[in-house]
Chain A
Amino acid sequence: KQEVTQIPAALSVPEGENLVLNCSFTDSAIYNLQWFRQDPGKGLTSLLLIQSSQREQTSGRLNASLDKSSGRSTLYIAASQPGDSATYLCAGFDSWGKLQFGAGTQVVVTP
């Protein structure tokens, strides 16, 4: 069974610093990987989807990489802003399309 781990569990940085969020998975047969953002009491907002044949995806200040051989994905957020404060979840899915979530990294960006 695929297990997904996110480190750190929580992170607090001053505004302007770059954020590095880590996600590791046990089964290298992972198909795709998706990063989400969750605000308190809200649903999930998709940030980036990395397909199995890709190594990274970029959207604005966000960049996510995927290394299937080492079982890792990293989400970089450049020049963090207070509005980036949220919980970030990574989820891997297998060829059946079943998602397995990490526990999330809670990010606080202080002004």
Chain B
Amino acid sequence: SAVISQKPSRDICQRGTSLTIQCQVDSQVTMMFWYRQQPGQSLTLIATANQGSEATYESGFVIDKFPISRPNLTFSTLTVSNMSPEDSSIYLCSVEEDIFGGIPNEQFFGPGTRLTVL
């Protein structure tokens, strides 16, 4: 299975600032996903990030607030822009191993980034 790392693991930020979260995978994968887990809640999909195309955002999430980059098959970033305390969450990236290299539709998750906005 893919090994996924995220940076930073946690951060405390001031209202109105932005934070970029990095997700690195140890193998090439086509599909990467970003999720948000608000305190005590379940995971909610923010967007799907495929290399070579614009990210696809779920209802309630917009590119201006959560811009995503996917420059290659092993790396992605999620930026949380103009932060407010409501953005305090754990942000997780996940990857779906390519069908030829792994089991289709099985997602593996990074360790998450715990963000606190004051």
Q: Do A and B bind each other?
A: no
